[in-house]
Structures are given as C-alpha cells and as structure tokens.
Amino acid sequence: MVASLLDRHPPETMTAAEVRGLLGEPTGYADHDEDAAYVVAPAASARTRGTEQLLVYRTDRRNGRILGAELIAPP
C-alpha cells in the first residue's frame, strides 16, 4: 500500500503542502519540525500488533520541497 502511494505520488515531485493536502495533518514529526511523519500499520490482527512504522517525508526547509520519503520504526 505504501509502495503504491509512493509510486503514484513520487515524493520528490511534491511540496510539504501537497503532502498535507493528500494525507492530512501529520501524526507527528521526525528529527525536524518540517519532516512530517505519518503512522503506517498493517491491518489489525494479533500477528501484526506492534508493527507500526512511520512514513517520514524529508523536507528541504529552505523551499518546502520534499527530498524523499522513508519508512522507519517509531522511537
């Protein structure tokens, strides 16, 4: 699902405002206030509990352009 999202909406072609327009307000932020993070989780089941990850959009703070996106385990 995440791969499909990133294929259809390549992060490097977007701005932070466009990401927010597409996904809504971020769940949180990673490393810097401009790096929007969204919780990504598989369908709920006993086997998938605790497997949430963060989809982080790294943003150029000078111009608001997305530099890339990555999945990371939450702290």
| Burial status of residue 46 (CB atoms within 10 A of its CB: 0-12, 13-18, 19 or more) | exposed
Q: Judge if pTM exceeds 0.95.
A: no
- What does the block give as tokens for 39? 């919780």
Question: What span, in angstroms and rounded, lies between the C-alpha atoms of 24 and 18?
Answer: 9
The amino acid sitting at 54 is: L
- Tokens read off for 40: 């990504």
> What confidence category does residue 50 fall into, taking pLDDT thresholds of 50, 70 and 90?
low
Residue ranges making up the domain that contains 64? 2-72
Q: How many CB atoms lie within 10 A of CB 22?
A: 11
Task: Render pLDDT for 35-47 as a digit per residue (tens, 0 to 9).
Answer: 999 999 876 655 5
